[in-house]
Amino acid sequence: ARITLRQLLDHAAEHDYGVPAFNINNMEQALAIMDAASSLDAPVIIQASRGARSYANDIMLKHMMDAVTEIYPQIPVCVHLDHGNGPDTCMTAIQAGFTSVMMDGSLKADGKTAADWNYNVGVTKTVTDMAHLGGISVEGELGVLGSLETGMGDKEDGHGAEGKLSHDQLLTNPDEAVKFVKETKVDALAIAMGTSHGAYKFTRKPDGDILAMNVIEEIHRKLPNTHLVMHGSSSVPQDLQDIINANGGKMKPTWGVPVAEIQRGIKNGVRKINIDTDNRMAMTGQIRKVLKDNPEEFDPRKYLKPAMEAMTRLCKQRLQEFNTAGQA
Ligand code: G3H
Ligand code: 13P
Ligand code: NA
Ligand code: ZN
């Protein structure tokens, strides 16, 4: 069944678990996620970015979402817009059947300029005012994603702030978070504490200097009833890096967010955990391997099937680690 983010995260808060939000762009990713969720009786969030919408087409996405809820009627699924950049984008997502939207007002509509307080509160409130009338949930973001090691936004993978950012911008201020939630009435709040999108988050295993989980703890103390969202939460597992590199890939050494840190977040109000990169890596590793081992092969199913299975394994692992398993 299709449910809203608010319904799902309220249940997660009541039962002390987190819900991974996996990005999709195509049928294979949608089926892989649902296979994982249904085999573990887990609710799940499927999210699509603006890039996914232009890749797959809103009508295709809408019918794919309808299809997976028809195939797996027993699994609660929230269909969420990831990183909406303006009220218009959020409204067209709602028209396409999304039950939840992110209005990311931490950046201006160009997706690369850090926004100021009034802009962020203004656009976010516009979206919550409209979306809530139709029973649709809204995620907002306060603070800008980017690296505490370099001070750079995560422009590297195509979106995020350009240029140097201050620690003030890269770390969500807990008192401002309280004010932001009160003024915008968001259902969930994405916060910044040193993660960034893509595979190259940290140059070493992160400690508290570069992954500020203490900020989450402080925000949760001040906002115990607000659902928190961690973006950039791929763990970038070494074994997936190795499969890619052993089969012709060229990923540079890198670290992601350790699952143990996410689990610490879940103890402190984190309810939605955004993961895209890990699944991209899981699929690409298998595609590379099949094509390298079988250069005579040209049937897409021969590499897409193992790619889906690798994505399902990754999704199942996270559903277990976040205690989402068994909550459907
Ligand atoms: O926000 C980042 C997600 O990984 C989506 O990425 O904009 O390339 O689809 P995308
Ligand atoms: P990753 O790049 O770490 O998977 O983050 C995805 C994300 O935050 C989508 O909004
Ligand atoms: Na999102
Ligand atoms: Zn994100």
pTM, full prediction: 0.98
158 Cα nearest atom in ligand 1? 8
For the chain, what is the total number of helices (H) and then of strands (E)? 13, 8
DSSP state of 189: E
Rg (alpha carbons) of the chain, rounded to whole number: 19
Q: What angle do CA 239, 39, 301 make, to 5 degrees?
A: 60
Low-confidence ranges of the chain (pLDDT < 50): none
Token pair, residue 134, equals 């139709």
- CA 18/CA 171 separation, integer angstroms: 22
Question: Tell me: the pLDDT tens digits for 107-151?
Answer: 999 999 999 999 999 999 999 999 999 999 999 999 999 999 999
* Residue numbers belonging to the annotated binding site for dihydroxyacetone phosphate: 198, 232-234, 274-277
Which residues surround the ion ligand 3 when the cut-off is CB under 5 Å?
A: 82, 102
Report CA(107)–ligand 1 centroid distance (Å): 15
Write down the ipTM of this complex: 0.99
Q: Which of 21, 19, 33, 20 is nearest to 67 (CA)?
A: 33
**Domains of the chain as residue ranges with CATH:** 5-321 (3.20.20.70)
**Model confidence pLDDT, tens digit, residues 270-305:** 999 999 999 999 999 999 999 999 999 999 999 999
Catalytic residues: 82
Going 248 to 198 to 60 to 2, the CA torsion angle's sign is: positive
